[in-house]
Chains A and B, each alone.
Chain A
Amino acid sequence: NAGVTQTPKFRVLKTGQSMTLLCAQDMNHEYMYWYRQDPGMGLRLIHYSVGEGTTAKGEVPDGYNVSRLKKQNFLLGLESAAPSQTSVYFCASSGPGLAGGPTGELFFGEGSRLTVL
């Protein structure tokens, strides 16, 4: 079982370059999330999706775009990378709970370490 897979795992960018992080899950989960983690900041929600074709903004969406064209994939794009976007990025997914929302049990990828010079 692959679970949640993030690619790439490491990347170094120059300021102004663009890139896309790919998150793929094989659990048929409705809910998918992109977080960033910086020292002392916990995980901050960038964007999330409650189903195929939907996206919503989280706490820190500026400078990022996302797409959920297929249920199993959630893409995070940086159009013009900035040093402030140096971080560890985690993708996660969740299935539906009894009340219809996410169960709260998030399945995480291993993280993608991005450095912007």
Chain B
Amino acid sequence: RKEVEQDPGPFNVPEGATVAFNCTYSNSASQSFFWYRQDCRKEPKLLMSVYSSGNEDGRFTAQLNRASQYISLLIRDSKLSDSATYLCVVHNAGGTSYGKLTFGQGTILTVHP
């Protein structure tokens, strides 16, 4: 089983739609969680960290469910500029994996007019 798994999509949504992505992780020792955004042929960039209590940044909301070992990203009022690949990242702090940052395979989002 992969350490971090995402639904690859693609998700095709109209402008203004709400879309949600999930990401599951297998290592219960995972400590920190993040969402990244990657535009075509560019390097990934940090979108937001995911905190235990959930957190919001404008139209983006991230949540963590430790019991079920998944994180989610919700995008409200989608814009054309939100079209990108969204990657979840997990930091495993346990034992020999300390410092290891593992990416999911990414979820492709296309927002159309």
Contacts and interface: CB of A to CB of B under 8 A. Distances in A.
- How many B residues are at the interface, by size bracket? 20 to 34
A74 interface: no
> A-side binding surface: helix, strand, loop or mixed?
loop
Contact of B102 (A45, A56, A90): A45
Interface residues of A, number: 27
A25 interface: no
B105 A59 contact: no
> B-side binding surface: helix, strand, loop or mixed?
strand
Interface string A41-69: 11111001010000010110000000000
B31 A101 contact: yes
Given A101-B32, A101-B91, A101-B93, A106 B46 contact: yes
Nearest to B96: A56
Contacts of B101: 31, 33, 45, 48, 94, 102, 104, 106
Interface of A: 31, 33, 35, 40-45, 48, 50, 56, 58-59, 90, 94, 97, 99, 101-102, 104-106, 108-111
